[in-house]
Structure 1
Amino acid sequence: MENPLLLFPQLNTSASKDKPYYKVMKSAIKEEPHKASKSGSVSPEEAVKWGESFGKLLSEKAGLDAFTKFLKTEFSEENIEFWIACEDYKNSKSAHELLPKAKIIFKTFIQKDAPKEVNLDFHTKEATSQSIGQPLRSTFDAAQSTVYRLMEQDSYPRFLSSALYRSLLQGRAPARAPLRRRSRSFTVSDFQGARPDFTLR
């Protein structure tokens, strides 16, 4: 089994974000050149645009970063991590990368009792698992769409009403949000030292 930190180095929580492999994540995210975020600052005008649509929020580096921080307060960051991994997978430079990456995504996010299992219906999970042996760039499309819709309909509205987002609209640095327990059967020990940092700076 290939080392997941070599194929998906963004999963390495102890790695420095200054290293070149963090650039992998930027391939799926547009950053407007004239609005490049400096030291994480976001203009109220930028933040207002994120309220227009969920797609707009995820299409910008600073928006994705803010939404990821919000999901961490709800202990549901595995959803955005899965979405990012799927974007990275689809942008693989060669077909040879697909199989090892597909196996890691499946073992990390989809298989039963995966460490960061995302909420998928039985049909989608089965269809995805059957294509892992000979994966295509579209292998995770259905699962990614399911998780995208879940975030769009569930997490995104809560993000827009959160203190974190309101502070960005007012041009203030967001206060550190309190961590909220989510209604899933995890124990505190599941989260200790096991929350990778996907912030992109």
Structure 2
Amino acid sequence: MEKPLVFFSHLNMSDPKEKTFYKVIHAIGKEASNKDIKNRGKEKRNRLSLLVQKPEFHDDVNLGRSGNLPKSISVSPEEAVKWGESFDKLLSHKDGFDAFTRFLKTEFSEENIEFWAACEDFKKSQEPHQLFHKAQAIYEKFIQNDAPQEVNLDFHTKEIILKSISQPTIHSFDAAQSRVYRLMEQDSYTRFLRSDIYLDLINGRPLKTTNLRRRSRSFTFNEFPDEKPDIAIWL
């Protein structure tokens, strides 16, 4: 069996053996250095993305994580019925927020509600350094391509955010938050009202342990042809 040959295009085979050896070692060392730089960059992005998981990002809501759903939701059926009147009433009630988060986790789409909540917290920031650090963390975690919990946003909205986060204002994420809100309202919210989680609550039954299912698709703004991007006002 013939052995494969490895050629180094940048080597001059007429060089002395010692010189050729050092060229190979230098090339290997340079490649290892480049990999080390890339790894350090990745670690930095991961550390930034963890900032939005710190307690100050979730003062008013309990987001939980996958596999760590709210232990119990104690609410009267009468109160739960009100959540069916509007999406805003659902999110404005802590137990409603928790129930909806529990439902999104069963669809593996909790990044949407977590992004919305992070934006709500971001708008409460008063100090410039808080705005800057939180804006960077939100972008790293939810907005940039291949973010750990990337939400579905159109290219133009992402570009507007990218241009603004170096000097963010409390309105930097308004367009993106509004988009994600509408997607949840028109898609996930309607399914939530038909889910066992909600039906058990309005019928006064204890919540069942819901089996997580693999999400077959991710909804995007393109699925709502009547909805037009409202990014023009943010230009």
Verify the 8 A CA contact 2:84 2:193 in the aligned structure 1.
yes
Pairwise CA distance, 1:7: 5.7
Secondary structure of the residue aligned to 2:158 is helix
Which residue of structure 2 aligns with residue 180 of structure 1? 213
Secondary structure of the residue aligned to 2:147 is coil
Which residue of structure 1 aligns with residue 59 of structure 2? 24
Which residue of structure 2 aligns with residue 196 of structure 1? none
Verify the 8 A CA contact 1:57 1:63 in the aligned structure 2.
yes
Is the aligned partner of 1:46 residue 2:79?
yes
Pairing 1:78-93 to 2, within 5 Å after superposition: 78-93=111-126
Q: Deviations over 1:70-107 (max 9, x none)?
A: 00000000000000000010011322200010000000
Verify the 8 A CA contact 1:47 1:169 in the aligned structure 2.
yes
Is the aligned partner of 1:146 residue 2:179?
yes
Verify the 8 A CA contact 2:142 2:150 in the aligned structure 1.
yes
Pairwise CA distance, 1:117: 0.2
Matched AA of 2:158: K
Which residue of structure 1 aligns with residue 189 of structure 2? 156
Identical columns (%): 63
Pairwise CA distance, 1:160: 0.1
Counterparts of 1:159 and 1:63 in 2: how far apart (Å)? Answer: 11
Counterparts of 1:88 and 1:152 in 2: how far apart (Å)? Answer: 20
Secondary structure of the residue aligned to 1:25 is coil
- Which structure is higher in RCO with an 8 Å CA cutoff and minimum separation 6? 1
Matched AA of 1:180: R
Is the aligned partner of 1:100 residue 2:133?
yes
What residue ranges of structure 1 are gaps of 5+ in the alignment?
A: 11-20, 27-38, 186-201
Secondary structure of the residue aligned to 2:162 is helix
TM-score normalized by the length of structure 1: 0.75
CA gap of 1:5–1:183, structure 2 versus 1, over 3 A, is same
Verify the 8 A CA contact 2:57 2:118 in the aligned structure 1.
no
Matched AA of 2:102: K
What residue ranges of structure 2 are gaps of 5+ in the alignment?
A: 1-43, 62-71, 219-235
How many matched pairs?
163
Pairwise CA distance, 1:180: 1.7
Counterparts of 1:4 and 1:124 in 2: how far apart (Å)? Answer: 20
Which residue of structure 2 aligns with residue 9 of structure 1? 54
Q: Out of 89, 93, 103, which is 1:56 matched to?
A: 89
Q: Deviations over 1:104-123 (max 9, x none)?
A: 00000000000100000111
TM-score normalized by the length of structure 2: 0.65
Pairwise CA distance, 1:23: 6.6
